Amino acid sequence: MTPERWQRLQELFAAAIELPDDERAAYLAGLAGDDAELRDELARMLGAHDPDSTWPRPAGAEAPDPMVGVTLGDYRLESLLGAGGSGAVFRARQLSKDRAVAVKVLRTAPGGARTALERFKREALAAARLSHPNLVRVHYFGRDEGRDYLVMDLVDGPNLRDRMAACRALGPDDPAPPGPDLRDPRACAALVRDLARGLQHAHAARVLHRDVKPRNVLIAPDGAPRLTDFGLAKDLELADLTQSGELSGTPQYMSPEQARAVRERIDHRTDVYSLGAVLYELLAGRAPVEGDTTAEVIHNILHRPVAPLYRGHKYVPLGLALVCMKALRRDPDKRYATMEAFADDLDRFLAGGSVHATKQNLVERAGERLVDRRVLMKLVPAAGVLGIAGGLALFQGARVVQARGLRPRVEVLVPGVAEARVSLLPLDRHHLPAGPERELGVARGGRLAPVVVPEGNARVLVRTEGGASSEHQRDFTPGTRAVIEARPRVTRDLTDGMLSVAARAGVRPYVFEMRPQGEAMERFDEPVDVAPFLIDAACVTNGEFRAYLAATGRRHLDHWSDGWKAVWDDPPREDWDALPVVDLRMEDARAYAEWMGKRLPTALEWELAAGAYDAPRWTDEASAQEWNARYVLGFPALAVWEPTGAVSTGAAYLEYAQTARGAGRATAAGFHDPFGNVAEWTETRVPTALPGAPSAAHHVASGAWHDRLEEADRATWLHVWRPGFVVESPQDTGFRCARSL
Amino acid sequence: MEGTGGGRIERLLRAVEEGDRAARDELIEVLQPELRACASRMMRGQDRGHTLQATALVNEAYLKMFSRDHPHFSDRKHLLATAARAMRQILIDHARRKGRDKRHADGERTPLDNIALEYEGNGVDVLSLDEVLRDLATFDAEMARVAELRVFGGFSFEEIATIEDLSLRTLQRRWSSTKAWMASRLL
């Protein structure tokens, strides 16, 4: 279509939709003078015209802004403030009194409408009875225009979640915006004390909140916190409206008994826990329990002890930490018995007195590690009979069993080798030794039966009598059952095509981090010493990988698409076998390396070998541009950023990839493509606990076609980091191997 | 929202252009709520999972936007438009990968899968949509940008009118015909 035709089409369309439906056909017919093609196009557009649909955005994605301007009863909705679980909240004007209020309109959800309405009404009933400066007052519950709505005080301020983010963005010396300065633990304590007083009032009126969380706390212009959204509130006077087993509440702030959905055990101490969780996050900067999925969060609430505040959080005063941890005890009986007791202890802390909360003793902590003390007592009735001492012994015995069940194990297979020693070297985040090497055992007859290993990042080392060895990097997490297949080799048999990199002291490793909130952080770590190693001069090629597949009885990797398999079987390029192999998962790259008797390089090793820590750097713009042009980065596939002409990664590979050992693209030491031809997997993990990200997020070194080297004089010039979760098996990422010396 | 007004962002953008690393960190912090809002507007769905989906999308958008180490965003509007583009690209890449990678067919769903499903639930195939948008861009680049902001960025018409410097009325009239044209191609 030409822009002119499109212009004309738009005009005709605008005129046509002004007409009533039954006149449109006549209008179309009347366009006889115009060409038929245009008329058909217009007819199709009119056929597809649906002014009310939100298409093509996802269903339910539309902000309910059609409600703005609507009057419900005495209230005119003025603007959308936000949307929550049960409905949208608007700033509104009460016409008879000419005052600003907040109106929450129940979202009409098909299917779930009844439950939602019951819940909504319950909120109204429960909250309307409450009047406290730290609770958002509910004034009215009504129905108009087929909509159920709730009228509340308008709190003109951010919620606590946003306030936390704003305070976190401040430097230590920046002045705080008006309101509580959440960098100050005392301000946090005072804020939580106020909320506790509000909840104390609610509990006295026999109303539980059950969904206490930062988002439900609004900060009024005078700085006072006010709790809102009694959407899950349980009125103890009323019969329970929800079906038992239904999960309600936001997982991170949910109490263990709530997570277990054992209805009869939910009482006011549930709110004590959730408010404790809010305090914890205020002080620690993260929720006491985290996880990638709702299921994981719930699992962690039930099974993982909250990391004590007084361990890693030096700036939290001990008294306040003790108060917080007491509110967060797994066993409701061990928490503050009432909201009032919680608030009183916070007052004691604020007044400079000593708090009533104490550290948990060992038995209590053991209890927290276990499923639940009461569950245990049910399972082991003898504990009650044996008395405290006997019960305790059983208790601790059970803890050991439990711990064994979770500890990671490794099994080592060494096919065709009669005897090999297996040991373990703990590693730090840079994959540098973090402790002494320890023996795991001897593999006889080609196998070492599963042995328990400590948690954490480590290298398993396999050595034979004849001086052959192999290395296997693994991150041992609880529950890991690793099976390693080792093919020990003698180092001198592997040096072909590998560069030797000398030991280097005082290197400050570059670190890229993704914080849980998603911020990307870059920094340089403390100086470290790096041991000598070998690294492939170039990436593993298609030809080499093909040979490996054949040797392991395969033609393709299972996950390859039919299209990629076809390309692999009948390559469109002459130099195919010399191109770096791509479309591998990190595990595939590692498996190849270990098959070869090598391992993947760490990010630090890769950078050292590529010369990233050498001086002088590429400091002038001109040479940066030259390298930019010569070393692939910044090819026209940059068009993936443009609205037109996106180039797929696979297509870009076919177009732009260069042979792995191409001339003129190596460092003086012979390291090929330091700026990337394809990007490369490394063993180093991205230090992050990003919600939603799978655990296998590995650093990717260098760059590929769509990446661009913008500034050569930056310390980060060599890095285009892409944690592996973006694409599990990217078509712009290959790898090379390394081996310790 | 306090402290995230255009002035502060534009000041930070200038500092970032001049290579100020601290400003970049600050910018990311400041933009976090905007991008999150952008992502969650895209999928203001019913279930709880959508928070995680929005987070995943924002994180990936960051990676796309900042992986080049030196973003040139002339102003906040440009940056938000870039965010919408990054999100589009992420969904497209994801859809391509899905098409190619049948392993996921019966495996667990990733947050991106869920986002894609929400689009599909509304009769939209992300890849076809992308093609139609590219087609549109050949004769009406402005409305192609609007469509991108609307569909992938989740911006309101008020915001888009500001970003594209159009009157709200003009925008809505033109969007109406553009949407009908797109629908006639896709539905």
Question: Is residue A440 scored above 70 in pLDDT?
Answer: yes
B47 interface with A at CB cutoff 8 Å: no
From A488, A523, A544, the end of a domain falls on A488
Tens of pLDDT along A577-627? 999 999 888 889 999 999 999 999 998 898 888 877 764 444 344 444 444
CA dist., res. A414 & res. A14, Å (int): 75
In a domain, A274, yes or no: yes
Is B61 among the domain residues? yes
Q: A713-737: per-residue pLDDT in tens?
A: 222 333 333 333 344 667 778 999 9
Distance in Å, alpha carbon of B37 to nearest chain A alpha carbon: 11
Does A257 share its domain with A346?
yes
> Which range (A257-266, A508-517, B126-135) has the least confidence?
A257-266
Identify which has the larger pLDDT, A662 or A378.
A662
State the nearest Cα–Cα gap between B109 and chain A, in angstroms: 11
Residues A335 and A264 in one domain: yes
Residue A396 lies in a domain: no
Question: What pLDDT is recorded for position B187?
Answer: 66
Pinpoint the alpha helices (H) of A31-184. 36-48, 113-128, 160-168
pLDDT for A714: 28
Residue A365 lies in a domain: no
Q: Are A139 and A182 part of one and the same domain? A: no
The Cα–Cα gap between A431 and A728 comes to 22
Q: Is the per-residue pLDDT at A63 higher than 70? A: no
* A201/A137 same-domain check: no
Contact B52 A641 (CB under 8 A): no
CB of A534 within 8 A of CB of A741? yes
Tell me, yes or no, whether B123 lies in a domain: yes
A432 and A299 share one domain = no
pLDDT of A398: 31
User: Which residue numbers of A are catalytic?
Assistant: 211
Least Cα distance to A408 among A481, A484, A483 occurs for A481
pLDDT tens digits, residue range B80-136?
A: 677 777 777 777 777 776 665 544 444 445 555 656 666 665 566 778 888 888 999
A589, A732: one domain: yes
Burial class of residue A173, CB neighbours in 10 A (0-12, 13-18, 19+): exposed
Question: What's the DSSP call for residue A58?
Answer: P
In a domain, A402, yes or no: no
In a domain, B95, yes or no: yes
Distance separating alpha carbons of residues A250 and A86, to the nearest angstrom: 13
**B67: nearest CB among A56, A648, A721:** A721
Asked if A440 and A330 sit in the same domain, the reply is no
Contact residues on chain A for B180, CB-CB shorter than 8 A: 13, 45-46, 48-49
Answer yes or no: do A124 and A201 share one domain: no
Look at A16-25, A85-94, A336-345, A359-368 and tell me which has the smallest mean pLDDT: A359-368
A381 is a domain residue:
no
Within 8 A by CB and 6+ apart from A368, the residues are A305, A329, A330, A331, A360
Interface contact A37, partner B, CB < 8 A = no
Residues A683 and A702 in one domain: yes
Angle (CA) A375 A377 A382, round 5° = 150
Mutate to test the interface with A, among B169, B181, B182 (most CBs of A within 10 A): B181
Token pair belonging to A212: 């206490």
Q: Say if B58 is an interface residue toward chain A (CB within 8 Å).
A: yes
**Average pLDDT, integer, range A202-225:** 87
Q: If you average pLDDT over every residue of chain A, what do you get?
A: 74
pLDDT computed for residue A713 by the predictor: 28
Any domain includes B25: yes
Q: What is the CATH number of the domain that holds A605?
A: 3.90.1580.10
To test the contact with chain A by mutation, choose from B53, B184, B186 the residue with the greatest count of A C-beta atoms within 10 A, namely B184
Q: How far apart are CA A700 and CA A603, in angstroms?
A: 8
Judge: A3–B42 Cβ closer than 8 Å, yes or no: no
Report the Cα–Cα distance between both ends of chain A, in Å, rounded: 64
Same domain for A256 and A124: no
Q: Which of A6, A12, A713 is most worth mutating to test chain B (most B CB atoms within 10 A of its CB)? A: A6
CATH number, domain with residue A113:
3.30.200.20
pLDDT of residue B76: 62
Residue A507 lies in a domain: no
- C-alpha distance from B74 to closest chain A C-alpha (Å): 16
Q: Is B27 exposed, middle or buried (0-12, 13-18, 19+ CB in 10 A)?
A: buried
CA–CA gap between residue B147 and residue B136 (Å, rounded): 9
Q: Confidence band (pLDDT; 50, 70, 90) for A339?
A: very high
Partner B, chain A 706-725, Cβ-Cβ below 8 Å: 707-708, 710-711, 714, 716-717, 719-723
Q: Is B1 a member of any domain?
A: no
Nearest-CB residue to B58 (from A518, A723, A729): A518
Query: Are A32 and A101 in the same domain?
Result: no
Listed range (A218-222, A316-320, A659-663) with the worst mean pLDDT: A316-320
**Which structural domain, as residue segments, surrounds residue A83?**
71-152
Domains held by chain B: number: 1
pLDDT for position B17: 65
Are both A106 and A236 inside the same structural domain? no
The CA distance from A131 to A247, in Å, is 28
In B, minimum Cα distance to A107 occurs at B46
A389-401 tens-digit pLDDT: 333 333 333 333 3
Query: Whole domain around residue B156: which residue ranges?
Result: 6-186
* B64 lies in some domain: yes
What's the pLDDT at A56? 67
The reply to whether B55 falls in a domain is yes
Flag whether A226 is in a domain: yes
Out of A320, A338, A360, a domain closes at: A360
Which of A152, A178, A208 is a domain's end point?
A152
What's the rounded Cα separation, in Å, for the pair A218 and A162?
10
User: A401 in a domain, yes or no?
Assistant: no
Total number of domains constituting chain A: 5
Residue B94: inside a domain, yes or no? yes
